[in-house]
Chain A
Amino acid sequence: MALSERTFAVVGKSVQKIDGLGHVTGRTVYVDNLTFPGMLFTAMHRSPLPHAKILHLDTSRAERLPGVGAVVSYRDVPNNLHGLLTGLGVQADEPLLAEHEVCWVGQPIAAVAAADEDTAREAASLIRVEYEELPAVFDPLESLKEGAPPVRTAYGVYPNYYLYAGQPCRRIRYGDFEAAIQKADHVITGTYRTGPIEHAPLETQVSVAVPESNGRLTVYSTTQALYFTMGLLASLVGLPLSRVRFVGGTVGGGFGGKVDGATEPITGLLALKSGRPVKWRFTREEECLYSSVRGACHLEYTDGVMNDGRIIARKVRSIQDSGAYNRTSPYGVNKNANHVAGPYRIPNVWVDGYCVYTNKQPTSAMRGFGVFEATFAIEVQMDRIARQLGIDPWEIRFRNAYRKGDQTPTREILDSVALIETMQAAAQAAGIELTATQRALSSKEPRA
């Protein structure tokens, strides 16, 4: 399908990338290219257990190792308990550095800044922690059950799931599912699951925190959100924004994996404590095992479908595995809930979206947060419905597709709709023959 005929001078043109020459000549400067005089390197001592109380933490042997500039633990963090979504009213639930308990294998406990990476790692290995193991739960379906061991015991925050206005799940109640399902010609159910995924950009997360002579802290960062991470660091270490400066803006791939501030607050703390620039480059192993990842999602569908393929009622139970802490999952569940019924006009929709904790690596945003998971379930369910009713998979989608002016389950009115047009464009590009009726459809016309 041809691009629009609207005439612009520059918009709509495939001009060369403004920063492309730096990439092809190797001149582009990424955070790991930066070094500063006296710079220290970071290593983190992490929990080897999925769930345990911390009885005793001893960093003294690490502090005494020659070449170590600073060691930080929960004692050094002015506002240790934090959350990424406190601005949206989500209660803080995660310590920057563990104090009372550890809730996942890899949870950060104490960090070391030393003259080189080998010394930093050696120092981190000299940190001693005494644990009392606690029961751990890994399966979100188990975690949701009555009587499941608590995933987190410290801070008295939340049961094993996030509370949405006191309820165990995000709810969407649109139309009247219970009444409509009685009128359906067919009731078709399906259960789907997407697994955890690591963003795996080629550049790992890196930051360098540099204490400046004027008392400010400059942090060079791979963050996807300079102001967001700056605000996070400032609040964790108790500095006003005016004393913090974030420098970045050139990142070697993100995909949502460079948002959660994995390195910056730590390098910031170590820089403030040691008085020296501190760098932390996540190893590839740390990216895989200890950074935020896309969480697994478990989705259950119950659909009321008419003989002609129209879905008149849809109920979804969606369970997001948040790992040990919130990070951005409560928000992701909202987004998932808003789109879990699909790009289809369904007049009766019931959604229960759960954000569930487990004693695993915390999960967070990744490309298509909530919609990636939903799309898998919706579209496999759609084909299963089509096959069961003997309706062509293209046809069933055309029949249910949103049109301009349709209302969504969140009560939004859609004013710019083009699902049908993308289906027609894809069919044409693939050489698939649609019927004349299908080719003549338009999102701008109300359905027949």
Chain B
Amino acid sequence: MSVATTPAAQTELVVSFTLNGRPVQVRTRALDSVLAVLREQLQIGSVRVGCNEGDCGVCTVLLDGEPHRGCLLPAFVAEGREITTVEGLGDVNQLHPLQRAFHEHFASQCGFCTPGMILTAKSLLDRSPAPSREEIVAAISGNLCRCTGYRSIIRAIESVAQQGGR
């Protein structure tokens, strides 16, 4: 029997948290990850599966403003806390400055890593509004991108930092 199917793992929990500013409540199993809960129960399409084992950062969410791999967080960790995804930053008719910058700087090719990159950048700029290039690079070095070569992403983040926007 795999770990996921043991009785303890099947224990159901109710987890209440804030998602993009709104209160939500979900019923989960003990080992369900934040990634699984957001995708499967809350229809958050931007948090995706890149590896499901913490190596790539595609599933990055902000937990009380700090970037975390959604696949490594058990859902119960979110209890009473705030989760932010890109849906909470802005939308097509009202883009967050980071979203606008990524678009204008061609910092997104296939788009799969983009939400995770934007959230990581947001967290950086909230902490450090005028980061150096080295600090930007360090912040996103845990987010893999296979398409862009990272440079357009760095340029996009720098442009927002220079504007003082968050």
Contact = CB atoms under 8 A, between A and B. Distances in A.
| A and B directly contacting (CB within 8 A) | yes
B90 A25 contact: yes
Contact of A201 (B4, B110, B115): B110
Interface string B87-116: 100111001000110111010111111110
B6 to A, nearest CB: 11
The majority secondary structure among interface residues of chain A is loop
Interface stretch (A29-37, A164-172, A315-323): A29-37
Most chain A beta carbons < 10 A, residue from B50, B58, B102: B50
Interface string A61-81: 000000000000000000000
B45 A27 contact: yes
A28 B118 CA distance: 15
A284 B55 contact: yes
Given A24-B99, A25-B90, A26-B85, A284 B45 contact: no
B8 interface: no
Nearest to B113: A202
B5 A122 contact: yes
A251 interface: yes
A23 B108 contact: yes
Contacts of B118: 24
Contacts of B147: 253
A20 interface: yes
B146 interface: yes
A283 B91 CA distance: 30
Contacts of B2: 118, 121-122
B52 interface: yes
24 contacts: A17-B108, A20-B103, A23-B102, A23-B108, A24-B108, A25-B46, A25-B87, A25-B92, A25-B95, A26-B46, A26-B47, A26-B85, A26-B115, A27-B45, A32-B49, A33-B45, A35-B40, A118-B5, A201-B112, A202-B50, A252-B111, A252-B112, A253-B112, A284-B56
Interface of A: 14, 16-17, 19-30, 32-33, 35, 118, 121-122, 200-204, 251-253, 255, 281, 283-284
